[in-house]
Structure 1
Amino acid sequence: MMLNEQNQYIKRISLKQDPPPPDTFPFNLPVIQHLTEILLHPNVTYIVGENGMGKSTLLEALAIHYGFNPEGGTRNFTFSTFDSHSNLENYLRVSKGPQRPKDGFFFRAETFYNVATNIEELGVINSYGGTSLHKQSHGESFFSVFMNRFDGNGVYILDEPEAALSPLRQMSMLARIHELVQDGSQFIISTHSPLLMAYPYARILELSENGTFETSLENTGHYTLMKQFFEDKERLLHHLIDR
């Protein structure tokens, strides 16, 4: 059964009072400088925007605050390859619903290799499809995690999951997201992919230098740029390439 506003796992994110000075990282990032309250959709929330806005930093802090390993995996993963995360999680206020998830996973494309290695070391590869993630292509290993490890009734925080996925795989992932949403799951996803943003039961939050605002797929900068490219490729290339 799909979650709703009464029983969703994570309801909102805000910043505690008196954070560190705004000229220190990560409090100098636009998403943090303008953070008042972010309301999350019961099913899927997309965090989108240009590079440098603070999407990954925000998702990382939320994941750590919720009990996940900074480099990714389930709450049972405790390995550390390189301690590079910020201290933002200490300054977040996360409002949770009355219901607790039975499953969860923090996926970040940047450190997925480290997670795959730890899975090998722990000997739990059967939960991920039974085939070594290192013996598959990058995209196949990503997709194997989504298809085999995500069990439903869970919180899934995904940072740029489309990084190694073809357009066809991204559409397949939309179908998988819908299956898991129908099975009582909540997703928070940072992405640059208009394909992945197309899920209808969702809220799209776009980050900019001026703050965070809710928008529609068609009004995101990513969709607009791709639409311009496909509708008038030659004109756009003329401005990009000196011929």
Structure 2
Amino acid sequence: MLSARPYLIDITLLRGNVPSWTDYPFNIPAIQQLETLTFHPAVTYFIGENGTGKSTLMEAIAQIMRFNPEGGTRNSLFSTRDTHSSLHEYLKPGRSYKAPKDGFFLRAESFYNLASFIDDVEYTGSYGGKSLHAQSHGESFLALLTQKFKGGSLYLLDEPEAALSPSRQLSALAVIHKLVKAGSQFIIATHSPILMAYPDAHLYLFTETGIRNIKYEETDHYQVAKDFLNHREQMLSVLFEEESQKSPID
């Protein structure tokens, strides 16, 4: 099983087919600079500020791997609003000789819609036998990780930390490691310095100048969190002083 990974080796933007570099999503700097992006056999992270294209690219990858763009498996046939871009039409995937046994696209912003679909089709058995709506947001995410995800598969996670406390993020990391050992590959878009700490993973930083590989300790996520925890009072003092000097809100 492990020799089959990565199931998704890389993606290449077919730049010669792009209709316009001034229209969305090709006007996003990270997408404009994209050529070929190579994935780690175990875990790859997309990190960066809001609006830099992480979720846009993740959604396109989900579509070329035939997942529902709103989240779920390849069999999650529901749609509440057609808002996904055409980026997937211009991406060429490099795949392994062996397809993953299963897979899942977890999208935090549409997880409620997915949970409703699962209830509607009465398919809660694979999620612990309990409606995801009958659990807290964090409990339902962990139920997905521990009950639905079986290993030997490709998992795409878009901001999974949205529902998870710091301790639950640590629990999620442990589950991810277990699934990696069982032959799974993960691609994760996150802002969490906890979740992005998986050893030897690829971290791709999305910026206004493109996408580049970065070490964990060099990320703003790690440095800001570390500085804040080590110098909380000083940082809060500077932050509040700067805020007080701005014009008052009308």
The normalised TM-score by structure 1 is: 0.96
> 1:151 corresponds to which residue?
150
> 2:248 corresponds to which residue?
none
Give the AA of the match of 1:81. T
Cα offset, 1:93, TM superposition: 1.1
Give the AA of the match of 1:139. G
> 1:9 corresponds to which residue?
7
Cα offset, 1:228, TM superposition: 1.6
CA–CA separation in structure 2 for the residues paired with 1:157 and 1:234: 38
1:45-194 correspondence to structure 2 within 5 Å: 45-194=44-193
CA–CA separation in structure 2 for the residues paired with 1:7 and 1:120: 33
Contact 1:43 1:181 in 2 (8 A): yes
Contact 1:8 1:99 in 2 (8 A): no
Give the AA of the match of 1:207. F
Cα offset, 1:132, TM superposition: 0.9
Cα offset, 1:161, TM superposition: 0.6
Cα offset, 1:157, TM superposition: 0.4
Cα offset, 1:37, TM superposition: 1.2
Contact 2:5 2:183 in 1 (8 A): no
CA–CA separation in structure 2 for the residues paired with 1:221 and 1:29: 21
Matched residues, percent identical? 51
- Call closer, same or farther: CA 1:44–1:225 in 2, change over 3 Å: same
Q: C-alpha root-mean-square deviation of aligned residues, in Å?
A: 1.2
Contact 2:6 2:39 in 1 (8 A): no
Large movers: runs of 4+ above 3 Å: none
Unaligned residue ranges in structure 1 (runs of 5+): none
- Call closer, same or farther: CA 1:138–1:54 in 2, change over 3 Å: same
Contact 2:5 2:42 in 1 (8 A): no
> 1:36 corresponds to which residue?
35
The normalised TM-score by structure 2 is: 0.93
CA–CA separation in structure 1 for the residues paired with 2:239 and 2:60: 36
Give the AA of the match of 1:8. P
Unaligned residue ranges in structure 2 (runs of 5+): 245-250
CA–CA separation in structure 2 for the residues paired with 1:30 and 1:75: 30
- Is 2:209 the partner of 1:210? yes
Residue 221 of structure 2 aligns to a residue whose secondary structure is helix
Residue 173 of structure 1 aligns to a residue whose secondary structure is helix
Contact 1:206 1:214 in 2 (8 A): yes
